[in-house]
Amino acid sequence: MNIGIDIDGTLTQSLDIERLAKAYIKKNDLPYKLVNPKASMVIDMFDWDSEICRQFYLANCETLHVDVPAKEGASEIVSKLKQQGNKIYIITARSVAWCREPYKISEEWLKKYNIPFDELLVEQFEKSDACRQANIGCFIDDSVSVLKGLEPLSLPTILMETKYNKEDTRYNGLRAKDWRETEKLLNDLHVL
């Protein structure tokens, strides 16, 4: 089976983006304020325009995409999936607009944490298109909106729970608090 997996918030530990953004606002003496502390994206969390958001991501690229550790169990379980003959597609929206060299940074991070993959697809803003083209049979992500967008494909999806999606009731599919729960769900789906 072809399995699609997101990086940020799914393979990576969740960062305190709110803290980073507040430090960025203070350092640059910006007039912005927090408007939605439960948002997963900075542009939704603060009353920022897209250019300020882009500058924040570029200034914090190392912290957000390189220094962030992998979630416990991610390497082990993705390795099991690979060893059992599944193809692993890492599908991320990481983009040059927010991160210098998103492919290189992502590839190096995956290798650093021993997370095997067959394909790495960056700048995938419409993950449903990537899933369709790669014939993905199961997808794991931390974004409710991404998983809702995959509903027309009728493929099994797993939401990796985080503080910003835990209470979101728009997604009625499978949920996992960590990679151990993800492993159990994959077993139930006969993927592992």
> Which amino acid type is present at position 95?
S
Selection from 155, 38, 39 nearest residue 91 by Cα: 155
Report pTM.
0.90
pLDDT digit string, tens, across residues 90-102: 999 999 888 889 9
pLDDT digit string, tens, across residues 38-90: 777 788 889 888 888 889 988 988 888 888 999 999 999 999 999 999 999 99
How many of the other CB atoms lie within 10 Å of CB of 53?
19
Q: Specify the CATH number for 2-13+70-188; select among 3.40.50.1000, 3.40.50.2300, 2.120.10.30, 3.40.50.1110.
A: 3.40.50.1000
Instruction: Give the pair of three-digit tokens for residue 99.
Output: 């991160």
Q: In sequence order, what are the residues at sequence separation of 6 or more whose Cβ sits closer than 8 angstroms to the Cβ of residue 74? A: 11, 113, 115, 179
User: Range with the lowest mean pLDDT among 24-38, 99-113, 119-133, 172-186?
Assistant: 24-38
pLDDT digit string, tens, across residues 129-142: 999 999 999 999 99
Indicate the domain borders of the chain.
2-13+70-188, 17-66
